[in-house]
Amino acid sequence: MLYVVIGGSAGSFPVVTGLLASLDKNFPFPMFLCLHRLKNVRTGFVEALRLKSVLPVSEPYDREPVLRGHVYLAPANYHMYVTKSETISLSTEEVVNHSRPSIDITFSSAARSFGSKCVGILLSGANKDGALGMKAIKEAGGTAIVQSPDECQVRTMTTAAIKAADVDYILTGAQIISYLQKLKE
């Protein structure tokens, strides 16, 4: 069993939709998306992802049990934690890196909960959120993947992660898709 956590901000949307469109509908692992978004815009985002995705996509409610092959999008204005008991916890705690949801929170909770079974992927973005989360994933024995900064629309986020953590792979969007497709093998 693996747990895939993906974080992104400015410029990450095309990569995420490309990825969700390319996965096998029998993708066997849960996927958690923490993407920076406007706090008062609650509709449209998950619907746009659903249009492209072969997997079911939803914004979880607090304590929602995690299902395999399901994609969970962190809701606007909530932090999203994943827990050892395979549930999702939401929180209205203080913003982290000017963000709620914060990628560091989601990634770090996944690292703590799933250790070596955690695969973290950080995409394009305009601040440093996610860098510490990537470090936590690596330290917990998980796999840390960063989109190549050269390909990112905004490279601040991925560059910060590469600096903070000894990441396993620096890949293009296409290579990330290919990596995920091969995961179930």
Partner 1 sequence: MEELFNISENGFRKITSTVRTAGSLDLIHFEPVLLCHRIERFMQLHGYASPEMLVEKMVRDKSFADFFIEGMRVPTTEMFRDPQMWVELEKNVFPKFKYESVVKIWVPDICGDDELNSLLIILERNNLLQKSMVYATCGFERGIEDAKFSQTDLKKMEISKENYRNVFGDNGSLEDYFTKRDKVFVFSHQLSEKAIFLKHNLMTEAPPDMGFNLILFRNRALFYSMQARKNCIEKLYQSLIGGGYFIIGIGETLRGLEQTTSFVPNSKTENIFKKI
Please report, as ranges, the residues that interact with partner 1 according to CB under 8 A.
40, 42, 59-64, 75, 77-78, 81, 83, 89-94, 96, 100, 104-105, 108-109, 111-113, 128, 131-133, 136, 164
CB 134 within 8 Å of CB 144:
yes
Q: Is 70 a catalytic residue?
A: no
The least CB distance from residue 8 to partner 1, in Å, is: 18
Supply the DSSP symbol for 127.
S
SS (H, E, C) 139-179: HCCCEEEEECCCCCCCCHHHHHHHHHCCCCEEECHHHHHHH
> What's the min distance (Å) between Cβ of 74 and partner 1?
10
Question: Is there a catalytic annotation at residue 79?
Answer: no
Nearest to 35 by CA among 108, 150, 112, 125: 125
Contact 39, 79 (CB under 8 A): no
Per the annotation, the verdict on 102 as an active-site residue is no
Catalytic annotation, pick one of 12, 109, 113, 129: 129
> Element (H or E) spanning 94, and its range?
none
Smaller CB separation from partner 1, 94 or 185: 94
Q: Give the position of tokens 């990441």.
A: 167
Catalytic residue among 12, 36, 99, 124: 36
Which is nearer to partner 1, 63 or 184 (by Cβ)? 63
Task: Please state the closest distance from residue 140 (CB atom) to partner 1, in A.
Answer: 9
Annotated active-site positions, please? 9, 36, 129
